[in-house]
Structure formats: structure tokens, C-alpha cells
Amino acid sequence: MRMSIFCSGLFLCVLLGACAAPVKRYAPASGLLEVEGLDSLLQLDRSLITIIDVRPATDFRLGHIPGAVNIWRPALADEHFSYSSITAPRHKLEAEFGRLGIRADRPVVVYDGQMNADAANLWWIFQLAGKADVQLLAGGLKAWEAARLPLETDTLALAATVFQFPGKGDSSHYASLSSVLLALNDPDVVLLDTRTEDEYTGLKVKAGAKKGGHIPGSILLNYTDATCERDGCTQLKSIATLQAMFADKGITKDKKIICYCHSGVRSAHTTFVLSALLGYPSVRNYDGSWEEWSQSDSLPFVTGNQPLMPIFP
């Protein structure tokens, strides 16, 4: 069976009976599905899985993977905050997924149009809520297009469902502001800033942040460093290359890792890479990230080479 060589997660192996061999580029159960594997599943039976396109609706309507439903960031955010970086509560997410016709008992494949940061953010949200049978499409939409696989422009209207997350959820990948505060002086915790260097130094301040800079003691490693170096490439680097890259920064498996970015989206991608691909046992994504941290004048921050600001001035 052609599709068996592309199974990259246990849930797809179950769907298809058995997987004769692991995925081409990544370890089994890595959380990644190659485009050929998804194409084979679609040819077999679209109803086997739910495909979620995490892009603005205008982009979705220009072309998307056949059978995909569309969701974008505002639907995943908690509207009770003045900034957009806090994830929506469970009941809002369940209502949104039900409105889209997503079924809780079907495996999910997610993708976006860039480097899968938004897709990884949705993967992370599903993990928090206890739905583990979720995979990222390796390389996202760009890899699908590069393989010359079909797109469609019709909007799929699924019948609404009553969506409920299984169980009580799993908070092991979640970090709050208080979690980060406790980690500031903990040598066993690595704070990992996954933004650009200009954001890290404070030279660039994105909309929603009150000021620029970074959390004291955090290590800078742009999330895009995990992808291949060719222009326009959205595929992740090999496992060996990724392992060496993080180890070179002192980000090792014996440490507890807290990732953050501007709003928790890019850092969700790094959380995915470290936990789902590299098997790091303790990786958390700071939900509010810099957008939340920058709001308070009492929290410490660093800009460029300036000294640390006191926690309680």
C-alpha cells in the first residue's frame, strides 16, 4: 500500500490498519504527516480525517487543500483581554470547532501558508485540551503546492457538531506569567525567546506590546532556524541537525524549557519541535508571551545591553 510509508503518527497507522515503515524524514509518531501521506488519505476516504487550514479567510478562499475547513487567530483568542495573546477558554473553542463541523472522534491534520507556526499553535491548543491525535502537515501548504497536488476554492460547509474535548486536558505544555516569574532564578529552567533579534533587543516593537525587549536571562533562537535554509522552504531540518542546533545553545533534555515569542504562536512551533520531534520531556509554551509581559511596568525586562529593571520598583 503506497500510503503506508508515509504514516508519521500512531493514529494514522490505526486508521490504515498498519504502517510498514516510518515516515521518510522524521521519526515515527513525530506529529508530522508528509504531503504524500495526506494525498493518499484523501484519495482513500476524506471522511477519515479532519483537515484544518489556519489562515485568514481571504487566503483560504484563493485556494486550499481539498476538504479543509478554515479557522484563523481571532477565533482562538480570548476576547476579554486588551491584547490577543491569551488563548480562548475551553468552552469558546468547543463552540467554534462545533460550528465548523469538526468532530472530536476524528484525527486532525493542520497546516498554514507559512512555516506552520499557526498550525503548531493550533496543535498546542489541542494538546492542552486533551486531544492528542493531531498532526502538522510537513512543510504546510507550500509543500503541498510544491508537490503539484490539487487545490480547491470551494468552501466546505460541514454540518455543525456538538464538539467536546476528551477528558480534562493536559497542562504539561502550558506556561503562565506566574510560571515564568518562578523560572527567572531557577537554573534548571531555560527561557527560550523564539522571535527575531530586533524584537529581542527592543529595536522592533510589534503591535500589541507596550514596550520592546526580552525577559531577563532568556536565550534567543528564532523559530525559523528550525526550517531549512533555502529561500521559500518551509520544511523542517533533519532530526540530527535540530538536535545539534538546540544543544549548541545549551537547550538540553535535562532542562525545563519555557518558550515564548510575541503572542505564543511562533513559540508554539518551537514547543512542537522540541517535544513532538525531539522528545524533550519538559517543554512549555508561555501563553501570553511578550505581549502580556510587556504590559506591566513592574516586570523585569532587558533592551539591548541595558541592565535589568527591578521586578518591584
The model's pLDDT over 161-175, given as tens digits with 9 standing for 90+, comes to 999 998 788 999 999
CB-count burial class (<10 Å; 0-12, 13-18, 19+) for 264: buried
Whether residue 13 lies in the annotated active site = no
Provide the pLDDT for residue 12. Answer: 46
Contact call for residues 311 and 298 (beta carbons, < 8 A): yes
14 three-state secondary structure: helix
User: What does the mean pLDDT of the chain come to?
Assistant: 88
Contacts of 58 (CB under 8 A, 6+ apart): none
Q: What share of the chain is helix, strand, coil (3-state, %, to 5)?
A: 35, 15, 50
Name the percent of the chain lying above pLDDT 70. 88
Nearest alpha-carbon partner for 75 in 56, 93, 60: 93
DSSP 143-177: HHHHTT---B-SPP-PPP-----SSS---TTEE-H
Per-residue confidence (pLDDT) for residue 183, from 0 to 100: 95
Q: Is 224 helix (H, G, I), strand (E, B) or coil?
A: helix
* pLDDT score recorded for residue 167: 77
Written as nine digits, the cell of 127 is 494538546
User: Is the pLDDT confidence value at 266 over 60?
Assistant: yes
Residue 277 pLDDT greater than 70, yes or no = yes
**Count of CB atoms situated within 10 Å of the CB of 241:** 12
As beta bridge partners, residue 137 has 33
Judged against a pLDDT cut of 80, whether residue 66 lies above it is answered with yes
Check if the beta carbon of residue 167 is closer than 8 Å to that of residue 141. Answer: no
Report the pLDDT value the prediction gives residue 156, as an integer from 0 to 100: 74
User: How close are the terminal C-alpha atoms of the chain, in Å?
Assistant: 65
Q: Give Dmax over CA atoms of the chain in angstroms.
A: 65
Task: Pick the more confident residue, 85 or 235.
Answer: 235
What pLDDT is stored for residue 28 in this prediction? 40
At residue 82, the pLDDT reads: 79
CA distances from residue 117 to 142, 288, 309 in whole angstroms, order as listed: 13, 16, 31
Kindly state the DSSP code that residue 313 receives in the 8-state scheme. Answer: -
Residue 311: which pLDDT band, with cuts at 50, 70 and 90?
A: very low
**Cα atoms in the 13 Å half-sphere on the side-chain side of 112:** 19
* Residue of 7, 19, 259, 261 with catalytic role: 261
| 3-state DSSP assignment of residue 29 | coil
Mean pLDDT value across residues 308-313: 42
DSSP class of 115: S
Confidence of residue 142 (pLDDT cuts 50, 70, 90): very high
How many whole angstroms separate alpha carbon 90 and alpha carbon 82? 19
Scanning the structure block, which residue is given the C-alpha cell 508515509?
6
Residue 208 in this model has a pLDDT that exceeds 50: yes
Q: Nine-digit cell at 215?
A: 525577559
